[in-house]
Amino acid sequence: MAETFHCSIVTPTGPLFDGDAIYASFPAWDGQYGMMVGKSPLLTRLGTGSLRIDTPEGTSRWFLLDGGFAQADKGQLVLLTDSAMAAEDVSYEQAEAELADVADRVSKPGENQEQVCRDQARAYAKRSLARSSS
């Protein structure tokens, strides 16, 4: 049996995942990170994108993360995020609608362009996750 570490996804409304993993791949602000048992301690800011957790049972769970922090230390990975969704709750149609909305906002005067870029990145990540999980 593969060695495991404890993995948690924590949102303001409570835990979204809390269990053992043999591998996790998550979006950080500067790229995709991977974690297995023995990873050096880490504290980093999360980005927007897909999180994959491989479980000891041989399955993979997928989630959409949108910002927050990741801490790896003492055989555990904790992902603290304001927003996370399980892949099965992500709708391709909803992601397409969000992309259309963001496209309308890109050139509107007075729009907060930083927020528009974040919303666009989240909508693209949702669409990508919905495509791969269907």
pLDDT in tens, 88-133: 988 889 889 988 898 888 888 888 888 888 888 889 999 998 888 7
**Band of the pLDDT at 85, cuts 50, 70, 90?**
very high
Cα 99 to Cα 62, 82, 121, 128: the distances in Å are 21, 21, 9, 12
Virtual CA dihedral for 31, 73, 84, 102, nearest 10 degrees?
A: -30
38 by Cβ neighbours in 10 Å (0-12 / 13-18 / 19+) ranks as exposed
pLDDT of residue 108: 82
Residue 134 pLDDT greater than 70, yes or no:
no
Rounded average pLDDT over 6-30: 95
User: Cα–chain-centroid distance for residue 52?
Assistant: 8
pLDDT in tens, 49-76: 999 999 999 999 999 999 999 999 988 9
